[in-house]
Amino acid sequence: MLAIDVEPDDPEFRPGSLAPWLGFEACVELAFELRTMLAKATSSDVRLTWFLRLDPQIAYGYGSAAWAVDRYANLIGQLRSAGDVIGVHPHAWRWDEHASRWIADLKDDAWVEYCLRTSLDAYADALGEPCLVHRAGDRFMSNHLLRLLVAEQIRVDMTPEPGMRGLPMSPSRPHTAALPDMAMVPRRPYFPDLSDWRRPAAGQAGLLMIPLATADPGPLLGPWRRVARRVRNVRRPLHRPLLPWAPELRSSIWDLMARDIDRGELSVVSFAWRSHLGIDQPGRAALVDSIGALTRHRLIESLEFVTALEARDLVLGASGAAAAAVLA
């Protein structure tokens, strides 16, 4: 699964600036470039998942939570015509008048709930259908948020990033609460336990969490760095999210993915990036090069590029049987 968070180029924009989302405009073009490359390599359609910012920060800063849908109706129509799925990507940013800056108010459950409901309501009003897929901003998840997603009948969440440590509050990252520790989150899709979103439930129903792709980058490091990582992360997993637009990875990322698929540690390989990558020339070039390397890698023969909802159907259909690898 290839997923894109559609949001302002500057996450801390000034309210009322109404700056266009140039990254998203360029990212749509980039998506069709990647789509063409991968469709040729797989001889099948390539479908993506897009997560729109429709939350109170957008409403306050742009005058309407649905600003992006109204401004980019033509582009969103093109994506839906291509078979892509649209979801929401709520952030819990609140404008602090005293400090004259945005603050991610993750500590306030009521505010997090308001941000989610604002996004879902704006989605339904603007697109004429209920939203089914979600990816939280700031890599935030909690049991309270999980229960809200289930109550709203969200079918897929793509927030988890296995292996990521919790991040404390920092003046340079204005949050009212630490970001959650995701070190022990499963690497394969799972139906979460409502009492602990990091743990799979006993049954299979309702909301499916699809983690982003992670792997142990140790084989790419020198022997001393590998030893140092193991000492530093004793009793903690060594896998980390891998970024296909990181110049240092190039084709190596697909060797790591293939290794873990062969071991049965991965069945769905999912990546997500912010839409500003469309105007980040070094990152964009590295992503195109990486996807180009994938089209020449042995992995390409066993991959199908699907949306979050299609991946959920495949996971449910593969219950009790060995699933083919799916690139998400």
Domain assignments of the chain as residue spans, ordered by start: 2-327
Rounded Cα gap, residues 302 and 129, in angstroms: 33
Q: Residue length, the chain?
A: 328
Q: Are 247 and 286 in contact (CB under 8 A)?
A: yes
One-letter amino acid identity for 90?
P
At 100-154, the pLDDT tens digits run 999 999 999 999 999 999 999 999 999 999 999 999 999 999 999 999 999 999 9
pLDDT tops 60 at residue 298: yes
Determine phi and psi for 208, rounding to 5 degrees.
-110, 130
At 242 the pLDDT is 84
Residue of 250 and 214 predicted with greater confidence: 214
- Amino acid 225: pLDDT: 62
Of 16-20, 152-156, 169-173, 318-322, least confident by mean pLDDT is 318-322
Q: Which residue has the tokens 């909301």?
A: 207
**85 pLDDT more than 50:** yes
Q: How much of the chain, in percent, has pLDDT values that exceed 90?
A: 75
Q: Look at residues 138, 123, 115, 140 and name the one whose alpha carbon lies nearest to residue 68.
A: 123
Per-residue pLDDT for 60 more than 60?
Answer: yes
**At 249, is the pLDDT very low, low, confident or very high (cuts 50, 70, 90)?**
confident
Local confidence band at 166 (pLDDT 50, 70, 90 cut-offs): confident
The CATH topology of domain 2-327 is TIM Barrel (3.20.20)
Question: What is the C-alpha separation between 27 and 4, in angstroms, rounded?
Answer: 8
Structure tokens at 119: 């996004």
Tell me the Ramachandran region of residue 134: left when phi exceeds 0, alpha when psi lies from -120 to 50, beta otherwise. beta
Mean model confidence pLDDT for the chain: 90
Residue 113: count of CB within 10 angstroms of its CB: 15
191: its two tokens: 């139906």
Could you tell me whether strands 208-209 and 156-157 are parallel, antiparallel, or unpaired per DSSP bridges? parallel
pLDDT in tens, 5-33: 999 999 899 999 999 999 999 999 999 99
- Rounded Cα gap, residues 39 and 309, in angstroms: 19
